[in-house]
Structures are given as structure tokens and as C-alpha cells.
């Protein structure tokens, strides 16, 4: 905002990130499946460290941040995140297999840790910016990325087991075909993409809900926003202890139904207290959806295809995400509550269809 001067600029940065996921995702997935996973996490974290350090370096030598420079930083960061996320999923899959840990349980452990560090990181960055400067926050973020790089060297550099490598275009095609050949992975991919996109939107539009629907202020916004993360961490942690037999009941689809229902509820809530309770459930439902769906994908997906599968899911998520974010403008909807209502209804409808398809394919 300080550089671009408008929310249009912020939207441009988000669009660049989504475009990287859509167009570069399949290629990055192929790289993940063919190279050492630890090395790619190191490269991804190093790119992130460079992005965080660049504003400090430019400030020191007297070069101002411009929109082209920030666009390049956004593009670089998006590539780094793609490299890291797919590679980390592949490492997680290998560790769970070697330790005989159910993939869903491992996903719950990783999810609760990730959520906790995200909350701690955002809170720490906010404190650093408030009491020192934004350059100090950039420096701490760069150092934390480099610290992660050092930590990764304690993990084996897992590689794909395949010995014969196909051509690049055939390899990319193979990644998309795997989504079709295993319908359950395809359905779970759509569920994750829809849930993740709508979950992000519910956070992005929260200021509108707080200000326009319940007429509250920044204190209420901060509490509600924190409660989403609280619900996410709590439910991810509880999923670690859920007996495996209950995971057969398609919890991810029912969690998506709850996510949609409580988005509708959030659109009509009238008090801060009810909004707080709604957001705890929203965060928890999203966490259950992602943990269980991610775990089942890791169970179903062949290790040599996991990189392409994960980055293809991110590509689908970005396509749906762009639709979600653009929907208020395309449909001329100005009320955050109305957006919540329609997307909540759509999530419930799509989740029901996917659940019915899954049960039908299993002969239930």
C-alpha cells in the first residue's frame, strides 16, 4: 500500500502470486518429483530469505522500492513457496511411511505445528514493526528463513524411486492424468481448493463483516481474527488423537459442509459474541478439512507423483481463488455479508455433490 498507493496494487500482487501457481505449478511439481526434496526446500527458503533481505539492501544503497521491483519480489516469493510446499509434503509422506505413522495423523501434527508458528510469526512481526521498524521485521524474517535452511540439513535428501525419466511434457501430463485416474484424489483436490479459497476470503472480508454487519471496531476485528487461528490450531491438534476408524466417515466432506453453513451463519450474525463463536468453528472446520484431505491424498498418491499432485492442487486452488476474489466485482456485490452467504451456500452444495460422488464410487 505504501508503494502502490491503492488496494488495486495489493490485488495486483495477489494476482501475480496466483498466476505463478497456475502457470509454473506443473513445472515446479515435475522438478520436485525428480530432484532431492531437501535441496529444493533449501532453495525455496533461500529465495524467501533473499526476498525479505532485498528491501533492507535497497534501502541501504538508496534505491527506492518500486512496483516493478515488488512485482519481481512477489514472483520470486511465489516460486519459493511452490518449491517448499510440494517438497515438504513429499518429505512428510516419506517420514510417515518410514515410521509407520498414518498419513492423516502426520498431517494433523504438521498442521498444528504450522498453524502455531504462523500465528507466532505474524504476532512477532507485528510487535517488531510496532516497537522498532519494518526493516527490523524484514531482517528477522530473513534470519528465520536461513535458520530453517540449517535445520533442513538434518533431514535426509529424499529422491524419487523411478530410474527412467520421461520427457518434461510427458511428465507434466502424467501429473494431470493421475488426478483423473484416481477420482478420489481429484475430488479431494477440488475440496481442498474450494475450502482453502473460501477460507482465505473469509479472512480477507472479515473487516467488512465487523464494520458493516455488526458495526464494531478494530478491537473486535483483532479478537475474531485471532479466534480463527485458535480454532485452527485447536482442532488440528485434536485430530492427532482422533481414532483412525472415525476417519473413514469422510470427515473432510462434513467439515466442508460445516464451513459453508457457518459462513452463511456469519453473514447474518448480529453481535460480536456470536461472530467470535462462528469464527472459532470456521477455523476448526477449515483445519479438519485440510488435515484429513491432505493426509488422504498422501496415502493415495504414489511418492513419485506427489510433487506434481501437490502443485497441481495449488494451481486449481489459485484458479478457484481468483474466481472467489473476483466474484464481488463480477457480480457487483458490495456487501461482505452477501458474499459470505452465496459462497457459503455454494460450498455446501459442492461438498454435498462431492460427498455423494465419493459414497457412490465406494458403493455406499
Residue 362 or residue 147, greater confidence = 147
The predicted structure's pLDDT at residue 247: 60
Residue 33 or residue 65, greater confidence = 33
Strand, helix or coil for residue 197 = helix
Cα maximum dimension of the chain: 66
Is pLDDT above 70 for 2? no
Ranges of beta strands (E only) in 212-311 are none
Q: 210: which DSSP letter? A: I
The predicted structure's pLDDT at residue 4: 47
Alpha helices (H) in 99-217, listed in sequence order: 103-131, 134-152, 168-181, 183-204, 206-208
Mean pLDDT of 11-25: 76
The predicted structure's pLDDT at residue 98: 82
Is pLDDT above 50 for 270? yes
- Percentage of residues in the chain having pLDDT higher than 70: 90
pLDDT tens figures, 274-285: 888 888 898 888
Mean pLDDT of 167-181: 77
The predicted structure's pLDDT at residue 242: 67
Cα(27)–Cα(325) distance, rounded to whole angstroms? 25
Alpha carbon of 45 to those of 80, 94, 152: distances in Å? 6, 20, 10
Query: Which of these ranges, 221-235, 303-317, 321-335, has the smallest mean pLDDT?
Result: 321-335
Is pLDDT above 50 for 222? yes
pLDDT tens figures, 185-205: 888 888 888 888 888 777 777
The predicted structure's pLDDT at residue 349: 92
Topology classification of domain 7-154+181-361: Growth Hormone; Chain: A; (1.20.1250)
Query: In whole numbers, what is the pLDDT of the chain averaged over residues?
Result: 80
Is pLDDT above 70 for 130? yes
How many other C-beta atoms can be found within 10 angstroms of the C-beta atom of residue 356?
12
Amino acid at each position: 500500500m505504501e508503494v502502490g498507493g491503492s488496494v488495486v496494487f495489493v490485488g495486483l500482487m495477489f494476482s501475480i502470486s496466483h498466476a505463478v501457481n497456475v502457470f509454473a505449478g506443473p513445472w515446479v511439481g515435475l522438478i520436485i518429483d525428480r530432484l532431492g526434496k531437501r535441496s529444493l526446500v533449501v532453495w525455496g527458503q533461500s529465495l524467501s530469505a533473499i526476498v525479505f533481505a532485498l528491501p533492507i539492501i535497497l534501502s541501504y544503497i538508496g534505491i527506492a522500492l518500486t512496483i516493478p521491483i515488488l512485482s519481481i519480489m512477489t514472483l520470486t516469493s511465489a516460486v519459493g513457496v511452490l518449491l517448499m510446499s510440494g517438497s515438504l509434503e513429499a518429505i512428510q509422506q516419506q517420514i510417515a511411511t518410514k515410521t509407520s505413522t498414518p498419513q492423516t495423523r502426520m498431517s494433523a501434527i504438521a498442521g498444528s505445528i504450522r498453524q502455531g508458528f504462523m500465528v507466532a510469526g505474524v504476532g512477532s512481526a507485528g510487535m517488531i514493526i510496532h516497537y522498532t521498524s519494518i526493516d527490523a521485521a524484514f531482517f528477522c524474517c530473513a534470519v528465520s528463513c536461513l535458520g530453517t535452511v540449517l535445520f533442513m540439513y538434518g533431514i535426509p535428501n529424499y529422491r524419487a524411486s523411478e530410474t527412467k525419466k520421461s520427457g518434461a511434457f510427458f511428465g507434466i501430463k502424467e501429473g494431470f492424468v493421475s488426478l483423473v485416474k484416481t477420482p478420489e484424489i481429484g475430488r479431494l483436490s477440488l475440496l481442498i481448493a474450494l475450502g482453502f479459497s473460501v477460507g482465505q476470503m473469509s479472512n480477507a472480508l472479515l473487516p467488512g463483516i465487523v464494520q458493516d454487519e455488526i458495526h464494531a471496531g478494530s478491537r473486535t476485528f483483532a479478537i475474531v481474527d485471532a479466534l480463527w487461528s485458535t480454532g485452527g490450531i485447536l482442532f488440528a491438534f485434536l485430530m492427532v488423537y482422533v481414532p483412525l476408524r472415525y476417519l473413514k466417515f469422510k470427515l473432510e466432506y462434513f467439515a466442508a459442509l460445516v464451513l459453508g453453513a457457518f459462513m452463511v451463519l456469519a453473514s447474518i450474525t448480529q453481535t460480536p459474541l456470536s461472530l467470535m463463536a462462528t469464527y472459532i468453528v470456521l477455523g476448526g472446520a477449515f483445519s479438519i478439512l485440510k488435515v484429513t484431505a491432505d493426509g488422504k491424498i498422501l496415502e493415495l498418491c504414489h511418492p513419485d507423483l506427489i510433487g506434481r499432485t501437490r502443485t497441481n492442487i495449488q494451481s486449481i486452488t489459485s484458479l478457484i481463488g481468483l474466481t472467489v476474489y473476483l466474484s464481488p466485482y463480477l457480480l457487483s456485490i458490495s456487501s461482505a455479508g452477501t458474499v459470505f452467504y452465496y459462497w457459503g451456500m455454494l460450498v455446501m452444495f459442492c461438498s454435498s455433490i462431492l460427498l455423494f460422488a465419493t459414497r457412490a464410487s465406494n458403493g455406499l
